[in-house]
Amino acid sequence: MNPNALACSDEERRDLARSAGLNGIDYVEVETRDGNGKPLPRPLLHFYFLGRAPRVKAANIVVSGGRHVTDIAIAGEPEFCPAEDPRKDDCMRVWLNKPGDASSYTVCLVDVDEKGRPISAPDDQPGGLPYRALPGFDPRYACIDFTFTADCRSDLDCGLGPVCPPETRPAPEINYLAKDYDSFRQLILDRLAILMPDWQERHVPDLGITLVELLAYVGDSLSYYQDAVATEAYLDTARRRISVRRHARLVDYTMHEGCNARAWVAVHCGQESYKLDDVESVFFVTSLAAAHIPPGRVLDQETLDAVQEVAYEVFRPVGKGSRMLYKAHNGIPFYTWGDTGCCLPRGATSATLDDAGPAKEAPPDPVQEPPDYGGKPTQGQDAKGKDAPQRATHLEPGDILIFEEVCGPRSGQEADADPRHRHAVRLTSVKPVVDPVNGWPVVEIEWGQEDALPFAVCISAVGPAPDCCPLKNISVARGNVLLVDHGQRVTEPDPLQVPVGPEPIAVCEDVGRPVKLEMPHPRFNPRLDSHPVTHAAGLPPDEPGRLSSPPPRRRRPRGRCAGHPW
C-alpha cells in the first residue's frame, strides 16, 4: 500500500529497508485450491517477508476492504514455514474465515496492546496506516493489497496499464470543408481540371484565372458571414460581448460588467525569511526591461509611478494584512523514499516533500548512522529519545503550492521543461514525519479532490545515453504563492471637463432688427486617463486572501480598476 500514490518503476526501497535492518511484507499469495485442483474449505494466505518471518499472532493481522463482503477475519493462529536456505526469506500461512468478493482487500501487520487490540498510529509515523506498525517493520511495507480473483479465468484483460502514461500528442486537425479563399480557389481549379482538361492556364492575367479568383473571393465573404451569423446567434457560441448582452436581455437578465483576471504568483525570496507588512501596498508587473529597478526591491506605489513610460500590465495581491515569505519555499523537492524513476500519477491528492532544506544535498546512506543535524530541535524528540531533525519548511493547511516541471524528463535540460505542467493546489493536511530508514525529515501533504492533478508529475527519471545518469528534482513544489488581481485600483475618479460653448453672436435680421445667434456647442467626448476599465470582485469574508476565489458567476462588481474588461 502506497499512501502517497507514488508510482515508481524501480522500487529500490526494499533493498534500503533490508540494509537498515527493517522488515516488511514483500508480497502475498491467495490459495483457494489444493495441488489437485480441489477447492479448499477456506482461503489460505501466504505471506512472504523482506527478512525472517516475525512471530506474530492472529491479533496482529488486520484485514480490511471489500465492497460486498467486508467481514473477512483470521481463522486460527498463523503457521510459519521457515526457509531452509538462509539466503531466502521466510513465509507465513494464515487461514481466513471465508472468501471475499472481486474487489481489493488490504492486510496489515500492526502492533497490539495487552488486550490484543490494535494500537493507534503515532503522529510521527509516515504513511496512511491508522494503526502503529509492527515493531521492526517499515511503515511503508506494513500493509499490502490482494484480491481473491487473481487466478480466475476470464476473457477480460486484467493487466494494468502504465500508471504514468506518456503524454498523448493531439491528432492533427484536417479541414475537409472549403471555407476560405485559398481552399475555394483550389477547389474550383480542381473541378475545372476535370471538366476542362484542355484548359491548363494558371497565369494571373488569364481571364479564366480572374473569374476563378473572383468566385473564390465571393465564396470566402459568404462563408465568413455564415460563420459570424451562426456563431453570434447562440449564447453558447457567441464571441462578442454585445451579442451575449442581447441574448441575456431576451430573458430579462441584466449582465454585469464581468470580473478581472486572476493569477497565482510564486515569489522568489532571497533571504531566509521576509515579512510583507502590507500586501496591498505591493505590485507585480509583467515587464520592467527599461525601468532600471535593482533586483530584489519591493515594487511599491512610488516606484510604480516612476516607470509609467514602460509598457506593462499591473497585478495586485488579493487580501489584506501581512504575509511571511521563506527562502526554503522557493523550490521544495519531492521525496521519493529512496526509489528512482518516480512520478505522481494523474488524479493524485497527496505527496511527500523533502523537509531538510536546500543546505543538505541528499539523504544519507541508510546503512550508516543517522546524520547529526545539530542545533536546537524544533520538533521535540523521536521514539528513540534522539533529537528530532531541524526542518526547513513552514507549511500549514490552507497554503497554496504550485507543482512545476523545471527540467525535461528526457534530457534533464531546463529549456526542455513543459510550461503546461504547472498546477496549483491548496493544502488540506500537513504532517511532518521522519523516514525510519535514514532519519531524514520529510513532510506529507494532502490536498482536496477538486485540486487533483490533471496530469502526471514526473519527479525522477533516467538521463539520456551514454551516461544514463539518474535525473532528480525534475518537478518541484513552489511556495510563497500569492493570489493577484489584474489591474491597478483607482481611488479617485478622473476629472471630466465639460467644454464651454462659444458666446452667441449678433446678426442683422433686417434693417434695425439685430438678433442673437446661438452657436452650436462642441461635441462632448470624454476619455478616461486610466483605461481600459474592468471590475474587481473581492473574496468572501470567511476566506483569507491567500485562498482561491468563488467562480465568476457568483461575483459582484466592486470598484474600478485599470485593466482588461474581461
Mean pLDDT of the chain: 80
Low-confidence ranges of the chain (pLDDT < 70): 1-5, 7, 9-10, 151-163, 172-176, 288-297, 306-310, 357-389, 493-494, 540-566
Question: Are the C-beta atoms of 112 and 64 separated by less than 8 Å?
Answer: no
- pLDDT number for residue 192: 87
| 186 and 299 together in one domain | no
User: Cell for 4?
Assistant: 502517497
Alpha helical stretches, state H, 60-152: none
- pLDDT number for residue 560: 37
Domain end call among 229, 250, 271: 250
Domains identified in the chain, total number: 4
| 240 and 102 together in one domain | no
Q: Does 56 reside within a domain? A: yes
- pLDDT number for residue 504: 79
Domain end call among 250, 278, 300: 250
Q: Does 296 reside within a domain? A: yes
Beta-carbon contacts of 109 under 8 Å, excluding residues fewer than 6 positions away, are: 25, 54, 56, 60, 61, 62, 133, 134, 137, 142, 143
| 77 and 195 together in one domain | no
- Could you tell me where the beta strands, DSSP code E, fall in 110-246? 143-146
Query: Which residues constitute the domain of residue 210?
Result: 181-250
Helix (H, G, I), strand (E, B) or coil at 514: strand
Number of other residues whose CB lies within 10 A of the CB of residue 173: 5
Name the amino acid, one letter, at 327. Answer: K
Domain end call among 146, 169, 197: 146
| 418 and 554 together in one domain | no
Which neighbouring-strand residues pair with 105? 65, 146
User: Cell for 450?
Assistant: 477538486
Name the amino acid, one letter, at 141. Answer: Y
| 243 and 346 together in one domain | no
| 54 and 134 together in one domain | yes
| 272 and 410 together in one domain | no
- pLDDT number for residue 382: 47
Q: What is the DSSP string of 483-495?
A: EEEESEE--SPPP
SS3 content of the chain, % helix, strand, coil (to 5): 15, 25, 60
Give the whole-angstrom CA distance, residue 81 versus residue 202: 89
- Could you tell me where the beta strands, DSSP code E, fall in 56-187? 61-65, 79-81, 91-95, 105-109, 143-146
Q: Does 2 reside within a domain? A: no
| 430 and 458 together in one domain | yes
Give the whole-angstrom CA distance, residue 148 versus residue 77: 21
Beta-carbon contacts of 366 under 8 Å, excluding residues fewer than 6 positions away, are: 16, 19, 20, 338, 437, 438
Q: Does 372 reside within a domain? A: no
Give the whole-angstrom CA distance, residue 126 versus residue 137: 12
Number of other residues whose CB lies within 10 A of the CB of residue 246: 14
Give the whole-angstrom CA distance, residue 388 versus residue 443: 13
Question: Are the C-beta atoms of 539 and 558 separated by less than 8 Å?
Answer: no
Q: How far apart are the first and last CA of the chain?
A: 47
Residue keyed to cell 489591474 = 487
Name the amino acid, one letter, at 340. Answer: T
Give the whole-angstrom CA distance, residue 267 versus residue 261: 19
| 469 and 336 together in one domain | yes
- CA 544, 548, 553, 559 torsion-angle sign: positive
| 473 and 533 together in one domain | no
Assign residue 93 the CATH number of its domain: 2.60.40.1220
Q: Does 163 reside within a domain? A: no
Span 205-256, pLDDT tens digits:
899 999 999 999 999 999 898 889 999 999 999 998 899 999 999 999 988 7
Radius of gyration of the chain (CA): 35
| 30 and 137 together in one domain | yes
Q: Is the pTM of this model over 0.75?
A: no
| 29 and 51 together in one domain | yes
